[in-house]
Amino acid sequence: MKYKWTVLANTTMGGMMASINATIILISLPSIFRGLDVNPLSPGNFTLLLWVILGYMVVTAAFLVSFGRLSDDRGRKKFYTVGFSVFAAASIALSLVPYGSGVDGVLFIIIFRLIQGVGGGFIMVNSTALLTDAFPDNERGKALGINQVSFLSGSFIGLVIGGLLSPFDFHLIFIVSVPVALLGALWSFFKLKEEKIKKRAGVDYIGNAALSIGLVLIALGFTYTLTPYGGQPLGWSNPFVIGSLLAGVVMLLAFYKIERKAENPIFDLELLRNRQFSFSSLALFLSALARGAVMFLVIIWLQGVYLPLHGFTIAQTPFWAGIYMIPLMVGFIALGPISGILTDRYGARVFSTLGLVITALGLFLLTLLPANFNYVVFALILFIIGSGNGLFAAPNTKRAMDALPWWQRGVGNGVRTTFANIGQMISLVVFFTIAITIFSVSLPHVIVSQGSSLGLPQNLTSDLASVPASSFLFSAFLGINPVTSFLASAPKQVVSSIPVSSLNTITSSRFIPALISAPFLNGLDIAMYIGIAISLIGAALSAMTRHRTNKDAQKYQR
Contact 127, 85 (CB under 8 A): no
Mean pLDDT of the chain: 81
pLDDT for the residue 198: 57
| Helix axes of 294-301 and 511-543: crossing angle, nearest 10 degrees | 160
Considering only residues 12 and 379, tell me which one the structure prediction assigns the higher pLDDT. Answer: 379
* Lowest-confidence segment of 100-114, 145-159, 424-438 by average pLDDT: 145-159
Mean pLDDT of the 156-174 span: 84
> What is the per-residue pLDDT across 381-407, written as a single tens digit (0 to 9) for each?
999 998 998 888 778 877 777 777 766
CA distance 251 to 218: 10
Tell me the C-alpha distance between 192 and 371, whole Å.
Answer: 50
Asked if residue 553 lies in contact with residue 305, where contact means CB atoms within 8 angstroms, the answer is no
State yes or no: pLDDT of 552 exceeds 50.
no
- If you average pLDDT over residues 7-31, what whole number do you get? 83
pLDDT band at 200 (very low <50, low <70, confident <90, very high): low
Residue burial 423-432, b: 16+ Cβ < 10 Å; e: rest: bbbbbbbbbb
40 neighbors 480 (Cβ within 8 angstroms): yes
Residues 220-233 have a mean pLDDT of: 78
Tens of pLDDT along 514-547? 888 888 898 889 888 998 999 999 888 888 765 5
Residue 245, pLDDT above cutoff 70: yes
pLDDT beyond 70 at 558:
no
DSSP 157-190: HHHHHHHHHTTT-TTHHHHTHHHHHHHHHHHHHH
- In degrees and rounded to multiples of 5, residue 229 shows phi and psi of -150, 135
Q: What is the pLDDT of residue 553?
A: 46
**pLDDT beyond 80 at 162:** yes
pLDDT band per the 50, 70, 90 thresholds, residue 97: very high
Segment 79-84 mean pLDDT: 90
pLDDT value of residue 406 = 64
Q: Which of 426, 416, 121, 118 is nearest to 267 (CA)?
A: 416
Per-residue CA distances from 295 to 22, 26, 138, 527 (Å) = 12, 9, 34, 12
pLDDT tens-digit map of 321-342: 888 888 887 888 788 777 777 7
Q: What percent of the chain is modeled with pLDDT above 90?
A: 16
- Selection from 290, 357, 305, 359 nearest residue 331 by Cα: 359
For residues 25 and 53, give the distance between their C-alpha atoms in angstroms, rounded to a whole number.
8
Q: What is the pLDDT of residues 136-153, one digit of tens each?
A: 777 766 676 677 667 766
The DSSP call for residue 224 is G
Q: What pLDDT was estimated at residue 75?
A: 78
pTM of the model: 0.77
